[in-house]
């Protein structure tokens, strides 16, 4: 879909619905929202709907960032501590590596 | 012909002549090493033992190791990356040094050479099954002093080894010659190896399990949404038991003499565990003694006597006494034997046939075969009366054997199944209600210096197959006749074993009947010869083709003897089945029933088997022989603490494939050139593509506009629509 061919109110609609979908524990949708509408929100010359689009893009960015921090922290903790957690570590794992701890 | 026809013809020709090999070009550089046996991983409650490689295998440059200088060079001066040491079994002690300095070692390939037999080769610990032994055992690996049973033991069987070890048996010596030629051509110049093409070996034995039994059993058992991969299996198999008189819940004699031996052996390498001196001699003695006693006292006379004899073969004894621990545990719970359980107080005497095979090669030119009987320390009140039951039995046995078997009363007890009974049924063993006696051929340390190893084969018990034909295919020639006819000599292993089995049968006869045996039934050395052949040389043999299931097809293409390793519990090995069926064939009564009648429920106390029989036409045998599960109690007790050390916790890792192959590695120079060429050509291609896209309008001339000139209104409309 080419954003340049859409009227501005449809762009706002799209941005809003992507934001709403991202609330369903889908941080990547928020990240996509940010990348896709970044130009329209910050670089294009001002138009009516731009204020709202900017708001949604910023909120998506914050949301994606928070998710990224949480995920990176959890992944680091898990990867470094899985072996020392013993049985709990195995219970948390979907794929347990073969042939080693 | 047109082009299309030519293509068709070429395709058809290619399809017809499928002689081309479908191997990838990359695979053609390897030459596979066939017939190797790998060291694999076992785990117990607290540790992992054995060897493993990474998923992709281990690669190392070949180096033949002959003496200590070679291993020193490998550990300190060698420069061309990880090495694969190739060492003969006679120099296997050098591997110990490599294990201590493993940084430059990728693996070890060891081979058997008939002209260079090692003087000892045993990898069990110096005190076998030390942690499953009863109190009073003086053999300890940590403390000094005391007796050491397996003097030459390296303990590698129960230790973790940092690299893979593969074993090439004598029959595959040509593989070693292949490697030796390759080594001579490429690796000869030790000091200038870096950067050249070198002969290398890749070994792969990737093991799935890790850490210890508790972890691997937990990982094998988790029930997630997706099916889990099993990573390890508990060790286990079947025990075999056979009673002289039938036992049922209602009519069972209260006095039992338990005569036992072990049936399993072990070794570092998968599939190679002959166990000649470690187990087969005891196994054959037990089976032939049981067969003789069944003739001496027929089942019909069972009402006359009060004592029953229960012959049992334990499996898994090499790994913390799996079989005997399970039987002792079951007796304590009152569920063994399954159809007519006995109580611990029923067993008045337990005679175990222990390590008796080691000295056969020492006495190869003599008629004698000295034995000893260890009697574990009794409670003070029962020691040293001359009328002690054990001393009486020992005297009867010595008389029958024509040679004194001295009793050793205050010594430490050698590794044997008796330890399990003393630990688990301590009530009856310590009070002296169950007397125990262990028959061995050594006093202080084992005479068997190949204990539980891959080299414990028929040569180590001085056994040579005589290949004597049976009378009418049914009867065995008696020992006296064989010696008189010159077919066997008094110094032959077969004759010695038959004499011991005869002595055991006669002594047990005296114990049951109350009087010494005066007849002339003895164990035939011919039968012993055939049995040793079946278990040590080739499982396609006369005895086993008569003793196998009647429904089986003709003789298997047996490539040697069945290995005696206990194996995993989910896969029953053939050795106990052979032993059980042999017992049934030699001691059971033949019924004149056909196959379908044979499968009906037998009288209680018996099982019925449809076996091939001596004429291979099928025969129905009624016997008191049966099998019971030899799985450690650790795996049947729910929530068992695997670190407690009460029962055996051995498991074996699961693996997918184990292979070895030899190739010549690319020299460092050519590999760099190839990599550089690849990188440069990728870069050039990328730049070219980028430049072409940039200037595409200059390079590619636009094609003339569509030449389809159609003169109607529709085409005008088509041209105006812009998709």
Mutual angle of helices B281-296 and B493-513, in 10-degree steps: 40
Give yes or no for B218 touching A (CB within 8 A): yes
Give yes or no for B642 touching A (CB within 8 A): no
C-alpha B676/C-alpha B671 separation (Å) is 9
- The alpha-carbon gap from A5 to the nearest alpha carbon of chain B, in Å, equals 14
Question: What pLDDT score does B299 carry?
Answer: 87
Least confident of B101-110, B377-386, B530-539, B673-682: B377-386
Sign of CA dihedral B569, B570, B571, B577: positive
A51: phi then psi, degrees, rounded to nearest 5: -60, -45
With beta carbons less than 8 A apart as the criterion, state whether B324 and B347 touch: no
Q: How far is CA A14 from CA A35, A56, A63, A81, B114, in A?
A: 13, 11, 18, 42, 82
Give yes or no for B230 touching A (CB within 8 A): no
Which of B42, B160, B211, B230 best tests the A interface by mutation, with the highest count of A CBs <10 A? B211
**In degrees, to the nearest 5, what angle opens at C-alpha B281 toward C-alphas B277 and B287?**
160
Q: Which of A87, A94, A99 sits opposite B218 (nearest CB)?
A: A87
Q: Above 50 in pLDDT, residue B220?
A: yes
C-alpha B261/C-alpha B495 separation (Å) is 20
Residues in A closer than 8 angstroms to B219, CB to CB, are 90, 96
Please name the residues between 344 and 363 in chain B that touch chain A, using a CB distance below 8 Å: none
Across all residues in chain B, what is the average pLDDT?
89
Least confident of B186-190, B396-400, B551-555: B551-555
Give yes or no for A94 touching B (CB within 8 A): yes
DSSP B114-163: TTS--S----S-SSTTGGGPPTT----SSSSSS--SSTT---GGGSB-SS
Least confident of B201-215, B369-383, B440-454: B369-383
C-alpha B493/C-alpha B463 separation (Å) is 6
Sign of CA dihedral B47, B52, B53, B55: negative
CB contact set of B46 (below 8 Å; sequence gap of 6+): B212, B642, B643
Question: What pLDDT score does B190 carry?
Answer: 84
Give yes or no for B231 touching A (CB within 8 A): yes
Task: Tell me which of B298 and B143 has the higher pLDDT.
Answer: B298
Closest residue in B to A86 (Cα) is B215
C-alpha B241/C-alpha B318 separation (Å) is 19
How far is CA B334 from its chain centroid?
A: 30
Least confident of B162-166, B501-505, B537-541: B537-541
Does A100 sit within 8 Å of B218, measured CB to CB? no
Q: CA nearest B454: which of B108, B679, B124, B188?
A: B124
For tokens 């190869």, what's the residue? B364
Residue by residue, pLDDT tens for chain A (101 residues) are 788 888 888 899 999 999 999 999 999 999 999 999 998 888 888 888 888 899 999 999 999 999 999 999 999 999 999 999 988 998 888 888 998 88
pLDDT digits (tens, 9 = 90+) for A67-92: 999 999 999 999 999 999 988 998 88
What would the 3-class secondary structure string for A80-97 be?
HHCCCCCHHHHHHCCCCC
C-alpha B630/C-alpha B111 separation (Å) is 33
For tokens 């006095």, what's the residue? B255
Closest residue in A to B225 (Cα) is A94
CB contact set of B220 (below 8 Å; sequence gap of 6+): B228, B229, B230, B231, B232, B233
pLDDT digits (tens, 9 = 90+) for B596-644: 888 887 777 888 989 988 888 889 999 999 999 999 999 999 999 999 9
Mean pLDDT to the nearest integer, B647-671 = 91
Does A99 sit within 8 Å of B55, measured CB to CB? yes
With beta carbons less than 8 A apart as the criterion, state whether B705 and B719 touch: no
Q: Above 50 in pLDDT, residue B371?
A: yes
Question: What pLDDT score does B248 carry?
Answer: 85
With beta carbons less than 8 A apart as the criterion, state whether A15 and A57 touch: yes
Which of B41, B42, B160, B208 best tests the A interface by mutation, with the highest count of A CBs <10 A? B208
Helix, strand or coil, per DSSP, at residue A19: helix
Show me where the domains of chain A are located: 7-92
C-alpha B710/C-alpha B189 separation (Å) is 81
Q: CA nearest B211: which of A82, A52, A65?
A: A82
Residues in B closer than 8 angstroms to A87, CB to CB, are 218
- The alpha-carbon gap from B420 to the nearest alpha carbon of chain A, in Å, equals 31
Q: How far is CA B285 from CA B55, B277, B316, B404, B469, in A?
A: 45, 12, 19, 18, 21
DSSP β-bridge partners for residue B168: B111
Closest residue in A to B654 (Cα) is A99
Mean pLDDT to the nearest integer, B43-61 = 94
C-alpha B22/C-alpha B206 separation (Å) is 26
Q: Above 80 in pLDDT, residue B224?
A: no
Question: What pLDDT score does B547 carry?
Answer: 87
C-alpha B289/C-alpha B271 separation (Å) is 29
Least confident of B132-141, B252-261, B334-343, B658-667: B132-141
With beta carbons less than 8 A apart as the criterion, state whether B590 and B294 touch: no
Mean pLDDT to the nearest integer, B252-262 = 88
Question: What pLDDT score does B143 carry?
Answer: 73
pLDDT grade for B112, boundaries at 50, 70 and 90: very high
With beta carbons less than 8 A apart as the criterion, state whether B629 and B239 touch: yes
**Beta strands in B403-453, from DSSP E residues, in sequence order:** 407-408, 435-440
Residues in B closer than 8 angstroms to A83, CB to CB, are none
Does A98 sit within 8 Å of B215, measured CB to CB? no
pLDDT grade for B380, boundaries at 50, 70 and 90: very low
C-alpha B501/C-alpha B282 separation (Å) is 10
Question: What pLDDT score does B193 carry?
Answer: 83
Closest residue in A to B206 (Cα) is A99
Q: Above 60 in pLDDT, residue B710?
A: no
- The alpha-carbon gap from B53 to the nearest alpha carbon of chain A, in Å, equals 9
Q: How many residues does chain B have?
A: 723
Helices (DSSP H) in chain A: which residue ranges? 8-22, 27-38, 50-81, 87-92
Residues in B closer than 8 angstroms to A98, CB to CB, are 55, 206, 208, 210, 229, 231
Question: What pLDDT score does B632 carry?
Answer: 95
Question: What pLDDT score does B555 carry?
Answer: 59
């Amino acid at each position: 879909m080419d954003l340049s061919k859409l009227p501005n109110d449809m762009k706002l609609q799209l941005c809003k619905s992507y934001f709403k979908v991202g609330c369903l524990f889908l941080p990547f949708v928020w990240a996509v929202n940010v990348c896709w509408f970044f130009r329209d929100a910050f670089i294009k010359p001002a138009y009516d709907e731009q204020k709202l689009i900017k708001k949604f893009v910023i909120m998506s960015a914050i949301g994606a960032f928070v998710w990224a921090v949480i995920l990176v922290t959890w992944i680091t903790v898990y990867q470094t501590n899985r072996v020392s957690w013993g049985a709990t570590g195995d219970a948390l794992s979907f794929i347990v590596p073969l042939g080693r701890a | 012909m047109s082009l299309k026809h030519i293509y068709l013809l070429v395709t058809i020709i290619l399809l017809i002549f499928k002689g081309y090999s479908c191997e990838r070009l990359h695979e053609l550089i390897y030459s596979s090493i066939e017939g190797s046996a790998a060291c694999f991983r076992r785990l117990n409650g607290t540790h992992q033992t054995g060897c493993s490689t990474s998923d992709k295998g281990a690669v190392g440059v070949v180096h033949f190791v002959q003496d200590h200088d070679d291993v020193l060079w490998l550990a300190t001066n060698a420069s061309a990356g990880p090495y694969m040491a190739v060492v003969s079994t006679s120099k296997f002690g050098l591997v110990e040094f490599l294990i201590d300095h493993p940084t430059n070692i990728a693996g070890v390939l060891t081979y058997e050479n008939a002209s260079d037999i090692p003087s000892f080769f045993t990898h069990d610990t110096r005190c076998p099954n030390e942690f499953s032994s009863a109190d009073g055992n003086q053999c300890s690996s940590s403390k000094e002093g005391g007796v050491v049973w397996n003097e030459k033991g390296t303990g590698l069987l129960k230790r973790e080894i940092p690299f893979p070890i593969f074993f090439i048996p004598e029959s595959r010596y040509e593989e070693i010659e292949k490697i030796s030629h390759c080594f001579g051509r490429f690796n000869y110049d030790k000091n200038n190896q870096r950067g050249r093409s070198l002969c290398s070996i890749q070994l792969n034995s990737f093991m799935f399990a890790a850490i210890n039994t508790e972890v691997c059993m937990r990982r094998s058992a988790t029930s997630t949404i997706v099916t889990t991969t099993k990573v390890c299996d508990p060790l286990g198999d079947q025990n075999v038991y056979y009673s002289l008189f039938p036992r049922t819940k209602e009519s069972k004699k209260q006095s039992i003499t338990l005569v036992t031996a072990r049936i399993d052996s072990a070794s570092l390498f998968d599939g190679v565990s002959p166990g000649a001196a470690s187990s087969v001699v005891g196994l054959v003695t037990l089976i032939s003694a049981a067969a003789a006693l069944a003739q001496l006292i027929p089942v019909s006379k069972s009402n006359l006597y009060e004592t029953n004899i229960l012959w049992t073969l334990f499996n898994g004894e090499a790994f913390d006494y799996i079989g005997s621990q399970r039987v002792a545990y079951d007796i304590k719970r009152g569920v063994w034997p399954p159809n007519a359980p006995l109580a611990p107080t029923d067993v008045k005497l337990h005679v175990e046939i222990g390590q008796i095979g080691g000295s056969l090669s020492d006495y190869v030119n003599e008629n004698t075969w000295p034995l000893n009987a260890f009697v574990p320390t009794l409670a003070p009140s029962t020691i040293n009366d001359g009328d002690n039951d054990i001393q009486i039995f020992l005297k009867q046995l010595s008389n029958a054997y024509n040679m004194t078997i001295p009793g050793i009363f205050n010594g430490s007890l050698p590794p044997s199944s008796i330890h399990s009974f003393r630990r688990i049924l301590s009530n009856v063993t310590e009070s002296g209600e169950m007397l125990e006696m262990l028959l061995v051929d050594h006093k202080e340390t084992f005479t068997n210096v190949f204990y539980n190893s891959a080299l414990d084969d028929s040569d180590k018990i001085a056994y040579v197959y005589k290949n004597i034909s049976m009378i009418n295919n049914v009867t065995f020639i008696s020992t006296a006749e064989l010696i008189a006819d010159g077919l066997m000599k008094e110094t032959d292993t077969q004759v010695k074993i038959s004499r011991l089995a005869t002595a055991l049968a006669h002594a047990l006869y005296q114990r049951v009947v109350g009087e010494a045996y005066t007849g002339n039934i003895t164990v035939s050395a011919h039968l012993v010869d055939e049995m040793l052949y079946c278990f040590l040389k080739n499982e396609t043999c006369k005895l086993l083709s008569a003793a196998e299931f009647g429904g089986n097809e003709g003789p298997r293409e047996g490539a040697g003897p069945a290995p005696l390793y206990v194996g995993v519990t989910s896969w029953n090995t053939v050795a106990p089945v052979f032993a059980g069926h042999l017992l049934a064939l030699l001691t059971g009564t033949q019924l004149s029933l056909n196959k379908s009648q044979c499968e009906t429920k037998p009288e209680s106390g018996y099982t019925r088997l449809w076996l091939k029989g001596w004429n291979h036409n099928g025969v129905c045998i009624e016997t008191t022989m049966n099998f019971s599960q030899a799985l450690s109690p650790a795996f049947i007790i729910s929530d068992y603490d695997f670190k407690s050390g009460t029962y055996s916790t051995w498991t074996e890792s699961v693996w997918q494939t184990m292979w070895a192959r030899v190739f010549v590695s690319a020299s460092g120079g050519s590999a760099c050139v190839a990599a550089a060429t690849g990188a440069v050509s990728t870069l050039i291609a990328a730049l070219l593509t980028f430049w072409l896209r940039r200037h595409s309008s200059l390079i590619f001339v636009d094609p003339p506009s569509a030449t389809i000139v159609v003169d109607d209104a529709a085409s005008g409309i088509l041209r105006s629509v812009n998709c």
